[in-house]
Amino acid sequence: MSGNPVWIDVLPAEKVIPVLKDKVVLHAGPPISWERMCGPLKGAIAGAIVFEKWAPDLATATEMAAGGGVTFHPNHHFGAVGPMTGITTRSMPVMVVENRTFKNRSFCTLNEGLGKVMRFGGNDQEVLNRLAWMRDVLGPDLGSAVRAAGGIELKGFIGRGLSMGDEMHQRNVACTSLILRAIAPWLARTAKDTNRLAEVLASIGANDQFFLNVAMAMGKAIMDPVKGIEGSSVVTAMCRNGTDFGIRVSATGDQWFVAPVEMPEGLYFAGYGPADANPDMGDSAIVETIGVGGFAMAASPAVAGFVGAGSASSALAFTRTMSQIVVGENPQWTIPALDFAGVPTGIDIRLVADTGIAPVINTGIAHKEAGVGQVGAGVVRAPLDCFIHAARALSNKLGVQ
Amino acid sequence: MSGNPVWIDVLPAEKVIPVLKDKVVLHAGPPISWERMCGPLKGAIAGAIVFEKWAPDLATATEMAAGGGVTFHPNHHFGAVGPMTGITTRSMPVMVVENRTFKNRSFCTLNEGLGKVMRFGGNDQEVLNRLAWMRDVLGPDLGSAVRAAGGIELKGFIGRGLSMGDEMHQRNVACTSLILRAIAPWLARTAKDTNRLAEVLASIGANDQFFLNVAMAMGKAIMDPVKGIEGSSVVTAMCRNGTDFGIRVSATGDQWFVAPVEMPEGLYFAGYGPADANPDMGDSAIVETIGVGGFAMAASPAVAGFVGAGSASSALAFTRTMSQIVVGENPQWTIPALDFAGVPTGIDIRLVADTGIAPVINTGIAHKEAGVGQVGAGVVRAPLDCFIHAARALSNKLGVQ
């Protein structure tokens, strides 16, 4: 709660994550081999390989990935996070968020917007063209603006967003609008030409989820300093790669506790249904570890409808239930509809194991096949087994029964 | 409800209100003579006279105003509205909103932001310098952007704003942010230079109440076509000049029904109290005639606190009570906290007279002396006498007892 995350830059990923200078692909979730990866993750990786020009086409890229021609690591191993497939490769621009209280930094790619996008497994020319524009225009220009501003403090946006119906996972319309207001003058002051500036402003303006990736980088920057506190049973990361769900816990440091990932339950776009859905994906569940997303559902009756979680009263119930598995409430981030109670913060694996209440996550739903994209949005539970494994490991480490 | 208000331009007031080519000052509220005007209105008028260079200083300007050297008219007589003192003179930029369904147009000056401002009776060099910048930079640049955009449809912003905690009178943070997102790319496309663009973006970015004046112009554009419907007892305008409160009613056309204006009850900024307050002022109560402001208090628990109207449950009660004096609910503008009920729309003088329930208005509070400015925010009731006078006049006109 004492963290002070500040968005300080946007840079090509290889500048801040040196391992990316090689043919390395970072992905969402805990570690996984090519063979066990789901369709959209494989599709996004093939797209990223073509994007980086390591292969001329998707077929060759897929062969290359399957044959060990690229190395895979989780984003989380390098202070990074990414939504859904979470692909990060060397030339992609990443936001740099510094937690000024603890001096650590975290990274997240920029949000691609809606439609065909790599985070949902998209990999065609439209997807790659957009990524090239983000690399060549959006990333550098946002970087210049944020540097000129001397950094953008992020915590206040969450507080305002919660009073404006955002939960910062599946709804970011308020925070996107507020941060654009803050950055727009700096974008103008550092602009090279006005047409290019108009493109950047229109891109953010058309993307209600722009702030999701900001919130994710912020979440990572807030939770990383919680790592390695002796005896602490607080969850420092939750993430999914479409096959496995993984968590990390403070006292057990970098160790992953994994279990098969669940299927989201939610609402599908026209023409799609549960049979099309891929199991849960993405590092975005980092936002639930800091008390927003599904944990702040009460702030966002509109999102409760969008993810199929029911009415405004159901939304209140989600937040109240999550209060039973956390170490506290965050008085800086309050929910008007709960008489300004703070968001439930700091998931405690002991409370999850004791109560059997699994953390709730608001999520997008990807098609299970590569290249199709988003087919819905819903709610998913973190698998209880992750927390039980973690509680056993922590017990063993502490020598308690 | 079928109106379609579109912000189509920003132009110097004299271009769209020809009477302003002369030494004419438009003000908020119903007609009033210089002698009966309150302190802040006199102060603002003196400031406007200096701003227009009709007099070299405030003392000469005040003499000129008192001696008949300028002519006064209500904004409402020329399709215009203005917040608080509501001063409109020839060189001030006004937003032009066209109701595309009914082809009428309305006008409102641009919001000056916080601090010392003419709408609260401010008239010193800081106030006049800002007005000059608005005349020379903000107005022309917004005009170019809005024209290039082919107009900005406004109704959707209200719908989104209501789901984000705005009531569009004392809270406009969501709508200001959303409309800036919509306009920013057009500001960039039409920008002459990036430093000037940065000034414009920073000015709107720093002013949570930017959208208030947009909402007012929209309200006027929506209500003007309601004028002159035979037998209709719907209120087409409510406004105050700091001395009198005035209303107009559909069937009685341009006739004003006036009564002494009330004192707002609310919260004061540090160092001020009720003894400093001027009675209620401004044309901004036009927004209550279209169902927002105090009528939509339930959408905005934060504003209920800001204006001293109590808790979130009090906010719900205000909206529920207003439902008793209107002809319907607007299904296009709904309030999540009331299970998406539409805002109470179309004040009926017969229902006000029958129930004794006076319309509630969220308002800023001005210091009673010229030149001081805003000292608080609160809630005020429209005086019942206006509605009783109007009901009698309508009865006489219709030949009913």
Mean pLDDT of A232-261: 98
What's the burial of A195, exposed, middle or buried (CB within 10 Å: 0-12/13-18/19+)?
A: exposed
pLDDT band at B87 (very low <50, low <70, confident <90, very high): very high
Q: Give Cα separations from B159 to A209, A305, B335 (angstroms).
A: 19, 16, 9
Cβ distance of B189 and A204 shorter than 8 Å: no
**pLDDT band of A43, cuts 50, 70, 90:** very high
Whether the pLDDT of residue A310 is over 90: the answer is no
User: pLDDT, tens digit, for every residue of A115-145?
Assistant: 889 999 989 999 999 999 999 999 999 999 9
Among A129, A91, A80, A74, residue whose Cα is nearest residue A11: A91
How far is the C-alpha of A270 from the C-alpha of A60, rounded, in Å?
33
Looking at CATH, the fold of the domain delimited by A226-398 is given as: v583 fold (3.90.1700)
pLDDT at A309 over 80: no
User: Beta A104-109 vs A80-81: how paired, if at all?
Assistant: parallel
Q: What is the pLDDT of residue B307?
A: 82
For residue A75, pLDDT over 90 is answered with yes
Q: Is the pLDDT reported for residue B346 higher than 80?
A: yes
Would you identify the CATH topology of the domain A5-217? Enterococcus faecalis V583 fold (3.90.1710)
The residue type found at B264 is P
Give the C-alpha separation, B159 to B11, whole Å. Answer: 27
**pLDDT-wise least confident of A8-22, A301-315, B264-278:** A301-315
Amino acid B311: pLDDT = 78
Write out pLDDT tens, residues A192-219.
Answer: 899 999 999 999 999 999 999 999 999 9
Residues of A with Cβ-Cβ distance to B178 under 8 angstroms: 173, 177
**Cβ separation of A204 and B181 shorter than 8 Å?**
yes
**CA pair distance B169, B157, nearest whole angstrom:** 14
- Domain spans in chain A, listed from the N-terminal domain onward: 5-217, 226-398
Q: How far is A145 from chain B (nearest CA, A)?
A: 11
Q: Which residue in chain B is spatially nearest to A195 when comparing CA positions?
A: B189
Average pLDDT of B120-125? Answer: 91
Do B188 and A181 make contact, defined as CB atoms within 8 angstroms? no
Strand locations in B231-280, DSSP E? 235-241, 244-249, 257-260, 265-268
Q: Is B155 helix (H, G, I), strand (E, B) or coil?
A: helix
Cβ pair A178:B178 closer than 8 A: no
- Banded model confidence at residue A311, pLDDT cuts 50, 70, 90: confident
Which chain B residues are closer than 8 Å to A178 by Cβ? 173, 177
Tens digits of residue pLDDT in B68-84: 999 999 999 999 999 99
**How far, rounded to the nearest angstrom, does the alpha carbon of residue A136 sit from its chain's CA centroid?**
23
pLDDT of B1 above 80: yes
Instruction: Quote the CA–CA distance of A364 and A376 in Å, as a whole number.
Output: 6
Instruction: Give the per-residue pLDDT at B149.
Output: 98
- What's the CA gap between B332 and A129, in Å, rounded? 38
**Nearest residue, CB atoms, B185 vs list A173, A205, A339:** A205
**Range B325-351 average pLDDT:** 95
pLDDT level of residue A333 (50, 70, 90 thresholds): very high
Average pLDDT along chain A: 95
Cβ B174–A189 below 8 Å, yes or no? no
Q: Which of A224-228, B215-219, B231-235, B266-270 has the lowest mean pLDDT?
A: B266-270
What are the tens digits of pLDDT across the range B144-174? 999 999 999 999 999 999 999 999 999 999 9
Looking at the DSSP assignment, which residues form a beta bridge with residue B334?
Answer: B342
- For the question of whether the overall pTM of this predicted structure is more than 0.90, the answer is yes
**Can you give the pLDDT at residue B304?**
83
For residue range B370-379, what is the model confidence (pLDDT) as tens digits?
888 889 999 9
Name the pairing type of β-strands A24-27 and A71-74. parallel
Q: What is the DSSP letter of B10?
A: E
B172-226 confidence digits (pLDDT tens):
999 999 999 999 999 999 998 999 999 999 999 999 999 999 999 999 999 999 9
Q: Which residues of B touch A (CB under 8 A)?
A: 160, 163-165, 173-174, 176-178, 180-182, 184-186, 188-189, 191, 194-195, 197-199, 201-202, 204-205, 301-302, 312, 336-337, 339
Q: What is the mean pLDDT of residues A147-173?
A: 97
pLDDT at B372: 85
Residue B310 has pLDDT above 90, yes or no: no
